[in-house]
Structure 1
Amino acid sequence: MCGIAGATAARHAPVDRTVLKRMTDALAHRGPDGEGLWIADDGEVGLGHRRLSIIDLSSFGAQPMQSASGRFVLSYNGEIYNYLPLRDELTRLGYRFSGHSDTEVIVAGCQLWGLEKTLSRLAGMFALAMWDKQERTLSLARDRIGIKPLYYTVNDGALAFASELRPIVAWRGSLPEISLRGLSEFLRLGYVPSPLSIFEGVHKLPPATVLTFRDGRTAGPTPYWSVGETVARGFARQRHNETAVLDELDARLREIVSQHMISDVPLGAFLSGGIDSSTVTALMQAGSNQPVKTFSIGFDDPAYNEATHAAEVAAHLKTDHTELYVSEQDALAVIPSLPDIYDEPFADISQIPTYLVAQLARQRVTVSLSGDGGDELFGGYNRYTFVSNYWDKLNRIPRPLRSLAAAGINAASPATWDSAFRLLGPALPPRLRPALPGQKMQKIASVLAAPTLYHLQSRLISQWPHPEAVLASGAGGIAEALLPPPVEVSGIPSAAQQMAWDTSTYLVDDILTKVDRATMRVGLEARVPLLDHRLVEFAWEIPLSMKFRDGSGKYILKRLLERYVPRRLFERPKMGFGIPVDSWLRGPLKGWAANYLSHSDRPTHDLFDRAAIDATWREHLDGRIDRGGQLWTVLMFDSWLQRARQWV
């Protein structure tokens, strides 16, 4: 696990070693164990690397690394879990290895098979830059799921790339303009989706693609794998024998977890006590001859505390368990560091506990496995059944009638709806007396007129469904239209389509981004065995009837976990991994938040409609409606921009 950066020459001016080192230094937290710089003899390209030593701790594992022939030079971030059988195959083909790192397997593969075929053979997480001296081509590639990040930009005939944004700013020597499209999507989603970034002209390389750069021109990104094709192929190969599916899922996941446990440094697991992390931990312990080190954090607020459940699972599996109860002050102390930790504006409130558990784990291990990906593959989010059922019913009503009903609801303010429900309260049964009724009626109106399932899901998961409402007038127009669906597969059920969308967007740019930045900030490698592409492909061959059962998801994964952990230890309602942001903004964070949200008279930038934000802030403070999630996006952008201006 590492950080990579590099650039090509600009208009025949060779790569500047000082600039390359500045780029690499900006990634020191991702690789505290070593630094490597390589510049071609003619100065045409330079590759930088920061090393977190995991496999082959010797100098033979250092990067940038050249192939035996000297033709290929690689700077790479990630882990290849099937590198040992690939190494054996390459050895039989005549390649002579110097060390035993997975990095050398990649350069050997490129020498004997070429880059494209090598990528198709790799099982792992990676972002890489490969220079081909013979073809004078720089290639960038990212793993199939998008576990590891990679940004790039082309300016003045040169390309620069890096694991994070800050090295690209160091290369440019100035802060790029804010991307209005990137900003609007950030307000909508709480993260910036690929291929956008928060900077104009800087892009995220999409997962499972290759970009090539030669003679000042780019080709691609070109996909070498596809979520859509994987989903379609999975539905064409549906398996219907539940016992056989369960046995194969067990065997496949055991093997994958075993490969993910290969390490030359101490290794452990994040354990929340939920189904996904418990499954990964159980399989780790089943394959280990000593107690697996597990880590969880707890909160005094029972609504946010999973530590007791994690402790029960750990006790049953007999792991070497470490838990830390985090106070409100501990969590609040992280907030000033969030812009540095996450590099790009990021507003998933679980970013705070994710960083805290990474910090806890790093005290004892250098690698930690997590259960991320189980929700998207096995139907863990409640919205999959709720939204698909709601859409099936909603779609029977002509859209003009739905639009008319939405307009009628919106004709009354949330405060008016609150008053109406208070008056009607005594006459209504308890199940029809919702908390914050005005907020819920507003949400209902926002989805009634949705023209497609994609629009419906987008509105339900959005922080600001209409970000143009809080963008300044000059920036608002670009925010109105949704980005197109990331993947569409014809003929599959609505819930499966939602899962495919999440796998392509939310999982990549929220969940995996959160885990990567939090763990890398403390020099910890996070591995996600449930997102090994070999399991992803198999999971889509499992019919939805084995994922959704009796009104809830993950049926087949629960049956698997039951082989290792009693059901009573994990069968409970899903709990979010977050903080009470609504109450904190009215309490301990009120003064800090007011510095950003109440500065309509002296704004730090002119991108937001400060009057609209101030009105939302006052609504929240009055307790009329909970706006914590929306306000958090504004706070995370403003605090990030304030910090980013200090990068140059």
Structure 2
Amino acid sequence: MCGITGHLEWYGTAQVPILEQQTEAIRHRGPDSAGFFCVDQVALGMRRLAIIDLTSGDQPMFSRDGDLALVFNGEIYNFQALRQQLQQLGQNFDTNSDTEVIVRGIEQWGIAGCVQRLNGMFALAIWQQQAQRLTLVRDRLGIKPLYWYADTQRLVFGSEIKAILAHPAVPRQINLQGLANYLSFGHSLAPQTMLQGIYKVEPAHILTWDIASRTMQTHRYWQLQSHPIALAPAEAAAECYSRLREAVRLQLISDVPLGAFLSGGLDSSIIVGLMQRLGAAPINTFSVGFEHAGFNELPDAALVAQHFGTRHHELRLNASDLVGALQTLVYHYDEPFGDAAGLPVYLVSRFAREHVKVVLTGEGSDEQWAGYRRYQAELIARMAQYLPGRNAIAALIRQLPRNRRLKQAIRTLDQRDPGRRYAAWLTIADLQQRQRLLQPQISAALADYAPEQIYDHVYPRSGAALTNMGLADLQTWLPDTYLEKVDKASMAASLEARVPFLDHTLVEWTMNLPPTLKLRGTKTKWLLRQAFGEMLPQRTLRKPKHGFAVPTDPWFRGALSNWTAEILFDQRTLIRGLFNPHEVQRIYQAHRDGKETADTVLWLLLNIELWQRIYLDREERL
């Protein structure tokens, strides 16, 4: 696991001091060693967190003829099988690393041909000297991040935005569309970011720049195909078990200690159970809980840990932990981030790093197995569109106390288009709320832009509704929120997080299963429960879906109320000119007084102000 960065100068010469600054900015992603390549117009840099082949896997790595240079962030889980194939084709190897497998694979099959054979999480930067061409590649599902910036003079790239901003020529200006995306969904929407001119490489994409033409070519090398699978439930359960077991087996490959995040929910418990069955003992498991009543799942995790005999570690958090860690977390996310669960993920990552270098996690299951409550709610909302008196029902709901879930329900009743209706389930601040929050000149500049339009493109227009929701989430919600959250929070602590549920061959199989094997009545993840029922404690199987909730609601009413006010109503905040201070004051007061539940919006406002202080004002972190 590493961080990669670099720059390509169209007319001038790449600069070693700038490359060193870029690489130093992501030292946390790879504290074990650094590597540099700087020749003529191109500079490639990397920081390494040594996981496989600790002694000879350093980067950059080169082709036999020296024409190709590669820096690589991630892990290739099938590298041993690919190595055998390449040896049979006449390739020789100097190391035992997965990095060299990629280099030899490109020599043998070309970039696209090699990438299509990789099973893993990865971000690649490839320089071809003779062709004078730089290529960036991101893995199929967007597990590893990769960003780029280009102007008339240069291209700059990095695993994190901070590596791009370390280049002195890159400007720091807010992208207003990125601001609208953030207020709408709590995160950026690829390929846009919060900063003007800086973009994400989208999942499953290859981007290539040619020095001669200074143009970019984009190629999507993978996307989910529809191949419906017809299996009896018992057969499907057996295959589900086999496929996920194989994914976990592949992701146990490591030359350093590894463990697992354990929430006590179905997904992480399955991962830990398979690790135990595959002989990965002793297994270190890590759980986090809050001292606030109603937000503590530590007993559920302890039950699973005892069941599988793991070395279990618990971390208990309170509001003071947030104040101490939030500024650091904002720095590491590079962009304001609306999911408060990033905080405990960061703190438990830091905690786990005291014991291991790698953890397995349960991310990616909900999107495939209809695990979110909104999937059930959307099926009901689809039927409600055709009920007589729909508008009267919405009017009645509007008279009830206004919490976030009720607001979402109201929004869905106003939407006939399935894509826009699904967007409504994910929206934090809708158009009317954004207009009230933003200053008039900002709203005017965004008059022709609607973040919800992304679902016009990613939400399928045919097929089963449950499958369509999962496909949309795999393209947006998962890479832009959950995977971003886990990658940045874990790598901030120099910890590698692996996600076996997102083995792409498993995803291809799961997303072609009939919805009846995923959701039955109110029972989510039905086939998963059938496949792993005999392995797990019965209480774990019966446990209802419970997202990783952070007690921001009571915190903003109590322990964090004064601190939040100090940030939101500070003179420096008020003079920025982005938000209407009267509306911010109204939201803050209404939440504190219990008239509204607005902790998600307060979290957005708090994070964006702290982000501006770090990245625009360049304020030193604590």
Fold match (TM-score > 0.5)? yes
Q: Which amino acid aligns with 2:197?
A: G
What's 1:461 paired with?
426
Q: Provide the C-alpha distance between the structure 2 equivalents of 1:156 and 1:356, rounded to a whole number of angstroms.
A: 41
Query: Is 2:256 aligned against 1:256?
Result: no
Q: Provide the C-alpha distance between the structure 1 equivalents of 2:518 and 2:135, rounded to a whole number of angstroms.
A: 39
Judged with a 3 Å threshold, the aligned counterparts in structure 2 of structure 1 residues 354 and 441 are, in CA distance, closer, same or farther, namely closer
Alignment of 1:235-384 (within 5 A): 237-288=228-279, 290-384=281-375
Residue ranges of structure 2 left out of the alignment (5+ in a row): none
Q: Which amino acid aligns with 1:107?
A: V
Out of 85, 90, 112, the position equivalent to 1:89 is: 85
Query: Is 2:512 aligned against 1:513?
Result: no
CA shift at 1:441, angstroms? 6.0
Match of 2:7, SS? strand
Judged with a 3 Å threshold, the aligned counterparts in structure 2 of structure 1 residues 205 and 443 are, in CA distance, closer, same or farther, namely closer
Residue ranges of structure 1 left out of the alignment (5+ in a row): 419-435
What's 1:433 paired with?
none
Contact 2:248–2:275 (CA under 8 A) maintained in structure 1: yes
Q: Provide the C-alpha distance between the structure 1 equivalents of 2:281 and 2:329, rounded to a whole number of angstroms.
A: 36
Out of 35, 47, 51, the position equivalent to 1:50 is: 47
Query: Is 2:557 aligned against 1:586?
Result: yes
Judged with a 3 Å threshold, the aligned counterparts in structure 2 of structure 1 residues 443 and 272 are, in CA distance, closer, same or farther, namely closer
Contact 2:402–2:597 (CA under 8 A) maintained in structure 1: no
Judged with a 3 Å threshold, the aligned counterparts in structure 2 of structure 1 residues 505 and 250 are, in CA distance, closer, same or farther, namely same
The total of aligned residue pairs comes to: 612
What's 1:641 paired with?
612
Alignment of 1:105-116 (within 5 A): 105-116=101-112
Judged with a 3 Å threshold, the aligned counterparts in structure 2 of structure 1 residues 448 and 488 are, in CA distance, closer, same or farther, namely closer
Match of 1:582, SS? helix
CA shift at 1:333, angstroms? 2.2
Query: Is 2:63 aligned against 1:64?
Result: no
Judged with a 3 Å threshold, the aligned counterparts in structure 2 of structure 1 residues 638 and 328 are, in CA distance, closer, same or farther, namely closer
Contact 1:600–1:614 (CA under 8 A) maintained in structure 2: no
Q: Provide the C-alpha distance between the structure 2 equivalents of 1:90 and 1:405, rounded to a whole number of angstroms.
A: 64
Out of 439, 442, 451, the position equivalent to 1:475 is: 442
Deviates more, 1:350-359 or 1:77-86: 350-359
Judged with a 3 Å threshold, the aligned counterparts in structure 2 of structure 1 residues 113 and 438 are, in CA distance, closer, same or farther, namely closer
Match of 1:212, SS? strand
Match of 1:303, SS? coil
Judged with a 3 Å threshold, the aligned counterparts in structure 2 of structure 1 residues 647 and 72 are, in CA distance, closer, same or farther, namely farther
Deviates more, 1:534-543 or 1:446-455: 446-455
Q: Provide the C-alpha distance between the structure 2 equivalents of 1:160 and 1:184, rounded to a whole number of angstroms.
A: 25
Judged with a 3 Å threshold, the aligned counterparts in structure 2 of structure 1 residues 6 and 449 are, in CA distance, closer, same or farther, namely same
Q: Provide the C-alpha distance between the structure 2 equivalents of 1:638 and 1:126, rounded to a whole number of angstroms.
A: 32
Out of 390, 414, 417, the position equivalent to 1:449 is: 414
Q: Which amino acid aligns with 1:392?
A: M
CA shift at 1:220, angstroms? 3.3
State the Cα deviation string for residues 348-399 of structure 1 (Å, max 9, x = none): 01111111111111110000000101100111001101112211221455xx
State the Cα deviation string for residues 87-129 of structure 1 (Å, max 9, x = none): 0111111111110000000010111110000010000000110
What's 1:213 paired with?
209
Judged with a 3 Å threshold, the aligned counterparts in structure 2 of structure 1 residues 104 and 394 are, in CA distance, closer, same or farther, namely same
Judged with a 3 Å threshold, the aligned counterparts in structure 2 of structure 1 residues 278 and 604 are, in CA distance, closer, same or farther, namely farther
Judged with a 3 Å threshold, the aligned counterparts in structure 2 of structure 1 residues 289 and 137 are, in CA distance, closer, same or farther, namely closer
Q: Provide the C-alpha distance between the structure 2 equivalents of 1:274 and 1:28, rounded to a whole number of angstroms.
A: 33
What's 1:484 paired with?
454
Deviates more, 1:326-335 or 1:293-302: 326-335
Contact 1:353–1:577 (CA under 8 A) maintained in structure 2: no
State the Cα deviation string for residues 408-463 of structure 1 (Å, max 9, x = none): 569xxx7xx36xxxxxxxxxxxxxxxxx3577765544332213122222222211
Q: Which amino acid aligns with 1:221?
A: T
Match of 1:15, SS? coil
What's 1:73 paired with?
69
What's 2:38 paired with?
39
Out of 499, 519, 535, the position equivalent to 1:564 is: 535
What's 1:575 paired with?
546
Q: Provide the C-alpha distance between the structure 1 equivalents of 2:36 and 2:618, rounded to a whole number of angstroms.
A: 22
Judged with a 3 Å threshold, the aligned counterparts in structure 2 of structure 1 residues 274 and 576 are, in CA distance, closer, same or farther, namely same
Deviates more, 1:93-102 or 1:460-469: 460-469
Judged with a 3 Å threshold, the aligned counterparts in structure 2 of structure 1 residues 601 and 315 are, in CA distance, closer, same or farther, namely closer
What's 1:13 paired with?
12
Judged with a 3 Å threshold, the aligned counterparts in structure 2 of structure 1 residues 241 and 28 are, in CA distance, closer, same or farther, namely same
Judged with a 3 Å threshold, the aligned counterparts in structure 2 of structure 1 residues 316 and 443 are, in CA distance, closer, same or farther, namely closer
Q: Which amino acid aligns with 1:468?
A: Q
Q: Which amino acid aligns with 1:8?
A: L
Match of 1:186, SS? helix
What TM-score does the superposition give when structure 2 sets the normalisation length?
Answer: 0.94
Q: Which amino acid aligns with 1:588?
A: A
Runs of 4+ off more than 3 Å = 172-175, 401-406, 437-445, 599-602
Query: Is 2:602 aligned against 1:631?
Result: yes
Q: Which amino acid aligns with 2:525?
A: K
Judged with a 3 Å threshold, the aligned counterparts in structure 2 of structure 1 residues 600 and 405 are, in CA distance, closer, same or farther, namely farther
Contact 2:266–2:540 (CA under 8 A) maintained in structure 1: no
Q: Provide the C-alpha distance between the structure 2 equivalents of 1:299 and 1:472, rounded to a whole number of angstroms.
A: 36
Judged with a 3 Å threshold, the aligned counterparts in structure 2 of structure 1 residues 484 and 326 are, in CA distance, closer, same or farther, namely closer
Q: Provide the C-alpha distance between the structure 2 equivalents of 1:438 and 1:182, rounded to a whole number of angstroms.
A: 25
Coordinate RMSD, CA, aligned: 2.0
What's 2:515 paired with?
544
Q: Which amino acid aligns with 2:149?
A: T
What TM-score does the superposition give when structure 1 sets the normalisation length?
Answer: 0.91
Q: Provide the C-alpha distance between the structure 2 equivalents of 1:505 and 1:604, rounded to a whole number of angstroms.
A: 33
Q: Provide the C-alpha distance between the structure 1 equivalents of 2:238 and 2:271, rounded to a whole number of angstroms.
A: 16
Q: Provide the C-alpha distance between the structure 2 equivalents of 1:13 and 1:254, rounded to a whole number of angstroms.
A: 51
Deviates more, 1:170-179 or 1:94-103: 170-179
Contact 1:72–1:110 (CA under 8 A) maintained in structure 2: no
